[in-house]
A = this chain, B = another copy of it.
Amino acid sequence: MAINRNFELLLHDNQLKVTNPRLSVLKLIADQEAATSQPMLEKVLGKEVDRVTLYRILKTFEEKGILHKIIDLNGTANYAICSSDCTAHNHRDEHFHFNCSNCHKVYCMDDFHLPAIAMPPGFTAATLSLAITGICNHCNQ
């Protein structure tokens, strides 16, 4: 399967071994239009991947810059595939996230960039994260 090959390459590139649990996690997250919540991952993968393994996979993926962890406004962790310019040492996360208050999905709005914000004196900004709540395009129609 072509898409699996890509995941294998992705794992290889990050010095990670190719295992079924890891492929399952990547496949599931990549299939979603929105970021996938940790509870959802647990629920869907519950049968085939151990809870603890899932925690560890998400942790290493995040450390390697493969996945992107987004804490939504309820404090729930959500994961999305990092855009290609993310690496372990340089997370690009200046775009914003949209939390649908109806279906609770988290959308990464990669294409929309944030305007510059003036900081108060003494404060230096490193990363920006804009979360917007509202109704998504599916729930709106």
- Interface positions of A (Cβ within 8 A of B): 71-77, 96, 98, 101, 107, 109, 111-112, 114-115, 117-138, 140-141
Contacts and interface: CB of A to CB of B under 8 A. Distances in A.
B120 A140 contact: no
Given A77-B75, A112-B118, A123 B129 contact: no
Each complex incorporates copies of this chain amounting to: 2
A56 B81 CA distance: 37
B123 A134 contact: yes
Contacts of A133: 125-127, 129
A137 B121 CA distance: 7
Given A71-B74, A133-B126, A133-B127, A115 B115 contact: yes
